[in-house]
Amino acid sequence: MEITPRIKELPNHLIDQIKAGEVIEKPASILKELIENSLDAGADKVHIQIENNGLDLIAVSDNGHGMNYEDLPKAFGRHATSKLNKFEDLYQLSSFGFRGEALASMSSISRITCSSSPKSGHGGKLVIHGGQQVSHIEFENNESGTAINIRDLFYNTPVRLKFIKSKTSEKNAIWKTLNSFILSNPKVSFFIKYGSGDKAIYPAKDNIKERLKQVFKKNNEDFIVVNGEYEGHKIFAMVGPKSGRGSSKNNQFLFANKRLFSDKAIHSAVLKAMEGVWGPGESGAYCLMLDIPPSYLDVNVHPRKTEVRFFKSSIVFSLVRSSIEKSKPKKTFSFDNADKGDLENLLNENFSMKNNWESEGVNSSPNLFSITESFFLFNHNGRPYLINAPILFEKYINLKMREVVESEIVPLLIAEPYPIAYGPIDNLFEELSAFGFIINRPDKETILVKSVPDYLSELPIRNILSLFFTYLEKAPKKGLKDSFLSIDNIKMTKFSLQQILLMLKPFLSTWGSSEFAKPLNDEVLHRIYH
Ligand SMILES: Nc1ncnc2c1ncn2[C@@H]1O[C@H](COP(=O)(O)OP(=O)(O)OP(=O)(O)O)[C@@H](O)[C@H]1O
Ligand SMILES: [Mg+2]
């Protein structure tokens, strides 16, 4: 028969060591708690020193409001805080801390020396080893501030020490923590001494953009600046357009009311919004700051306070996604030097290709998609082609001008007036009529177009003719046909799907011209389909 074990209460120091695990997971967690305390104390100068990636020493000193001699030991007691009075205060927080647990947790698993002093009154110096007070002395100082040294982290809980990851990952976590405070508190100066390296100084700045430059250690001129607001929820973000696989994590920051947090769903919203700018499966640097009405934000989700809950999470997600989408640069696409990635992004961005290419006829719309104003995707005999509209137009006009006969002239129901003053163009009226344009001049300032060639009647003629006439006015000597086709600005003309189909039609029987239609790379399509 087994002996029934007796139930006994745990001694306080053991409770403290166990509970410390909830708050202090690694050196970076201590650093986070200490800097938060300094900021909560209103400091605008924070000095930080780290030795052996935080295992030997984490020292943080500040010029905040400090503590007086009597209060100092209380700060290290469990559930002791000056920041919260009643539960409801949790939803109107203006401080990082509220649990009154951080200092107690760290004091139980390290050796701490803390000196603190208020602006007036007596300050004190307290030494605690593994939760046991070693000394507490009073001293006078006329500057307010607090300095805490945490040495020999986990010295009395060797098992915890084993869970410390590689030097690199601890270092990365520490720098991510440091960078998050540097970014979100631009008006606070930070002085950082990391191991044997030089002291890094971050002087106070007016805005986060300057800090971003320092933190990301690269120019952020090309960063996308995002601003948005919806129902009291605000977003400010800066997102880097360059992307890569992996490693970007250290440069991705989410803040809710200045508090760094992690949230996979919001990260995915950023990825989704940046599709087309960031490559598939890649991501880039971002710093995203949410300003949430305090009563809509729950920070009391986990003792480490690195998770938050939004009461209106759908607002937050759509705010993130739509604000970034609105601000991101529209990709400019060039037919001639488009690479696979460009195409893939373009296609992904503009439509999902669920259509069956084989079964549709030429005149039905699933065969033609508009990608940008100038580029269309066209299915010919089951194969997709990218259509360059300005070149297609040029080829179409060329073809038509060769075959035009008078009977194909289409009179316009209402003659189109154009504000073109009397000049060289008037000498061309006769020549123009041979091409199907019947034009006359009712007064010195206007010309009237009464009919146009049939092949133009369904195209955006008003737009095309204005450009054409402007060109003729300037360079009438250059032969009519050349003038018509060398209108650079034709690129600005918008064509409808119908007009593109119309212009494509004459070429379908002799398909094969690659000047305006380029077959899409099979590999790219394969990746899109599957
Ligand atoms: N740098 C500091 N300057 C002035 N007072 C401080 C400083 N650090 C801690 N304190 C005081 O000690 C108290 C306890 O700090 P601690 O970090 O343990 O708890 P907290 O900040 O109140 O809550 P949390 O556990 O959520 O961080 C604080 O409420 C504050 O009054
Ligand atoms: Mg705190």
Q: Is 480 helix (H, G, I), strand (E, B) or coil?
A: helix
Do 123 and 41 contact (CB within 8 A), yes or no? Answer: no
CA dist., res. 184 & res. 207, Å (int):
9
Do 39 and 183 contact (CB within 8 A), yes or no? Answer: no
Q: Is 507 helix (H, G, I), strand (E, B) or coil?
A: helix
Residues ≥6 apart with Cβ < 8 Å to 364: none
**pLDDT digits over 298-325, tens only?**
887 777 667 888 999 899 999 999 999 8
Closest residue (by CA) to atom 7 of ligand 1? 37
Do 500 and 392 contact (CB within 8 A), yes or no? Answer: yes
Distance 39 CA to ligand 2 centre (A): 10
Ligand 1 neighbours (beta carbon < 6 A): 33, 37-38, 41, 62, 64-67, 75, 80-83, 97-104, 146
Rg (CA), the chain: 35
Q: Is the dihedral of CA 16, 21, 27, 33 positive or negative?
A: negative
CA dist., res. 33 & res. 23, Å (int):
9
Q: Is 42 helix (H, G, I), strand (E, B) or coil?
A: coil
Closest to 71 measured CA to CA, from 80, 63, 79, 62: 80
CA dist., res. 123 & res. 143, Å (int):
10
CA dist., res. 192 & res. 309, Å (int):
32
**pLDDT digits over 146-202, tens only?**
999 999 998 888 777 777 778 888 999 999 999 999 999 999 999 999 999 889 999
Catalogue the long-range contacts made by 272-275 (C-beta closer than 8 Å, 24 or more residues apart).
Answer: 272/321, 273/320, 273/321, 273/322, 273/324, 273/325, 273/328, 274/239, 274/243, 274/324, 274/328, 275/345, 275/348, 275/349
Write the DSSP string, 284-314: --EEEEEE--GGGEE-TTSTT----EETTHH
The token pair at 159 is 């098992």
First to last CA, the chain: 63
Do 120 and 25 contact (CB within 8 A), yes or no? Answer: no
Distance 37 CA to ligand 1 centre (A): 5
Q: Is 439 helix (H, G, I), strand (E, B) or coil?
A: strand
Closest to 320 measured CA to CA, from 274, 266, 255: 266
Closest residue (by CA) to atom 1 of ligand 1? 38
The token pair at 355 is 């259509």
Distance of CA 78 to the CA centre of its chain: 40
CA dist., res. 231 & res. 216, Å (int):
32
Q: Which of 38, 40, 95 to mutate to test the pocket of ligand 1 (most atoms within 8 A of CB)?
A: 40
- Ligand of minimum distance to the alpha carbon of 103: 1
Distance 82 CA to ligand 1 centre (A): 7
Identity of the amino acid at 14? L
The token pair at 519 is 């077959």
CA dist., res. 390 & res. 374, Å (int):
7
Q: Which of 47, 103, 128 to mutate to test the pocket of ligand 1 (most atoms within 8 A of CB)?
A: 103
Distance 229 CA to ligand 2 centre (A): 30
Q: Which of 23, 37, 150 to mutate to test the pocket of ligand 1 (most atoms within 8 A of CB)?
A: 37
The token pair at 480 is 């009519």
- Ligand of minimum distance to the alpha carbon of 305: 1
* Nearest atom (ligand 1) to Cα of 84: 22
CA dist., res. 254 & res. 314, Å (int):
17
Domains of the chain as residue ranges with CATH: 12-204 (3.30.565.10), 209-327 (3.30.230.10), 332-530 (no CATH)
* Nearest atom (ligand 1) to Cα of 62: 1
Strands 57-62, 45-51: pairing kind: antiparallel
Residues ≥6 apart with Cβ < 8 Å to 352: none
Helices (H), ranges, 351-449:
389-403, 429-434
* Nearest atom (ligand 1) to Cα of 105: 18
Closest residue (by CA) to atom 27 of ligand 1? 97
Distance 61 CA to ligand 1 centre (A): 13
Distance 97 CA to ligand 1 centre (A): 7
The pLDDT profile of the chain, 530 residues, written as one tens digit per residue, is 678 888 878 777 777 777 766 667 789 999 999 999 999 999 999 999 999 999 999 999 999 999 999 999 999 988 778 887 777 777 777 788 888 889 998 998 999 999 999 998 899 999 999 989 999 999 888 889 999 999 999 888 877 777 777 888 899 999 999 999 999 999 999 999 999 988 999 999 988 888 888 888 766 778 899 999 998 999 999 999 888 887 678 889 999 999 999 999 999 999 999 987 888 888 999 999 999 998 898 887 777 667 888 999 899 999 999 999 888 876 544 444 455 555 555 555 544 333 333 333 333 444 677 766 677 777 777 666 778 887 888 788 777 776 655 546 667 767 778 888 888 778 878 877 877 788 889 888 888 888 877 777 777 777 677 767 776 766 555 566 565 555 554 555 677 777 888 888 888 877 765 678 877 655 544 443 43
pLDDT for the residue 66: 95
- How many helices (H) and strands (E) the chain has is answered by 16, 22
CA dist., res. 416 & res. 473, Å (int):
18
Q: Is 232 helix (H, G, I), strand (E, B) or coil?
A: coil
